[in-house]
Amino acid sequence: MDTIYFDNNATTKPLEEVVEAMKPFWVDAYANPSSVHQFGQSVKHAIECAREQVAALIHATPGEIVFTSSGTESINLAIRGALAMVPAKRKFVTTAVEHAAVLRLSEVLEREGYEIVVVGVNRDGQVDEQAWVEALSGDTVLASIQHANNETGVMMDVNRLAALAQEKGVAVHVDAVQTVGKVEVDVATWPVQFVSFSAHKFHGPKGAGGLYVRRRTRLKPLIVGGSQERELRAGTENTASIVGMGVAAACCGATMAETATRVGALRDQLERELLKSVAGASVHGVKANRVYNTSNISFENLEAEAILILLSEAGIYASSGAACSSGSLQPSHVLQAMGIEEHVAHGAIRFSLSRYSSEAEVASVVERLPGLLARLSRLGSR
Ligand code: PLP
């Protein structure tokens, strides 16, 4: 049975070009890039090529890119590193729909004595501008916003929100893990200091992420030791993954517009057909600007976990934002923040497509899902 992978916001299939480019660095090109001999320097050169490729993707200069292990590490480095540079001020502002990498860190910071303000969103998942401006008052050092939400695909107006922060002298970090490599990210025009991204979300390997740090922005490292990454991230580089990220950046950059058009049409078709064939289905964030590959659809009065199990048995891989805690299913914090009613939020499924998705796959889901849902309804899933 052919499986259908519609879980690309969780992770993506590495491109063949990426895998091929990485192979030599596991086999022959194993030298330490910090070694002064020619062997080491050739590996160092490969890392610097990757830095150029990644910088080009987001319109940065190579010197503004710090390689890390993941989006999560980049986010921790930006937030902790920026706050640590201004010890006299202790306020951090973010939004209610951020990824756990931001929200869990905020909770830790709060326990460490920081004042944390979490700004809410409207029903379309967008930040209330007035609340944002009010939150930025006082001793705010840094604000962190998502470019796109991983569960709904809803995009924030980074230019606008960051400009409002800039007016108040507040530095801005953008979690662009769900957009870099998928949509145009132009850090040269964004009034922000830090942007996080992650290779495995754009057909690169796991184990490589990056942080854009605007030139002349001060940042304290999380990991100290050797002088790698301009002393902002010590530790011998994960050469193969960094090289793979560079190739993924180049490939995704070159095909971005075409992928957006094709995958966007598939996503729209999936939504159109499911809304037509399933009574009580609704799409979250539909009025907002969304990343073209993501669809978060609720099937009223059904339980997402149960739907996902049936889908998985049918070879269809999707996701939900629900988390199982102490035996009871909590609806996603994102849908809760958007004010989505519980009986709707509980039945939310995220379908996230990629350049590997096909019309036949969409047709197959559209054909089989209504029957699976009807079966669940009869069983009384909730
Ligand atoms: N931020 C967002 C919006 C994400 O979707 C993810 C991953 O799902 C992360 C951060 C964390 O990235 P990583 O898996 O590379 O640590």
Domains of the chain: 4-11+255-372 (3.90.1150.10), 16-251 (3.40.640.10)
3-class DSSP state of 293 = coil
Long-range CB pairs of 341-347, under 8 A, 24+ apart, other chains included: 343/300, 343/301, 343/382, 344/282, 344/298, 344/300, 345/298, 346/302, 346/303, 346/304, 346/322, 346/382, 347/298, 347/299, 347/300, 347/301, 347/302, 347/303, 347/304, 347/307, 347/382
Q: What is the CA(294)–ligand 1 centre distance, in A?
A: 15
Atom 14 of ligand 1, nearest CA residue = 71
- Candidates 7, 8, 9, 72: which one to mutate for ligand 1, based on the most atoms within 8 Å of Cβ? 72
Q: Which amino acid is at 5?
A: Y
Measured CA angle at 371 (ends 269, 335), to 5 deg = 60
For position 326, what pLDDT does the model report? 46
266/153 Cα distance (integer angstroms) = 15
What is the whole-number distance in angstroms between the Cα of residue 101 and the centre of ligand 1? 7
Please give the sequence-ordered ranges of beta strands (E in DSSP) within 147-293, or none if there are none.
171-175, 194-198, 209-213, 281-283
Residue 1: per-residue pLDDT: 61
Residue 323's pLDDT is 60
Catalytic residues: 324
Instruction: Report which ligand 1 atom has the smallest distance to the Cα of 200.
Output: 15
Closest approach atom of ligand 1 to CA 149: 3
Measured CA to CA, the distance from residue 45 to residue 330 in angstroms comes to 48
Residue owning the nearest CA to atom 5 of ligand 1: 150
C-alpha pair distances (Å), 147 with each of 119, 252, 274: 15, 18, 27
Q: What is the pLDDT of residue 331?
A: 86
End-to-end CA distance of the chain: 30
The string of pLDDT tens digits covering residues 312-338 is: 999 999 999 766 544 557 889 999 999
Q: What is the pLDDT of residue 210?
A: 98
What parts of the chain have a pLDDT lower than 70?
1, 322-328, 381-382
Q: How far lies 3's CA from each of 8, 203, 296, 318, 367, in Å?
A: 14, 18, 20, 11, 15
Q: Which atom of ligand 1 lies at the shortest distance from residue 201's CA?
A: 15
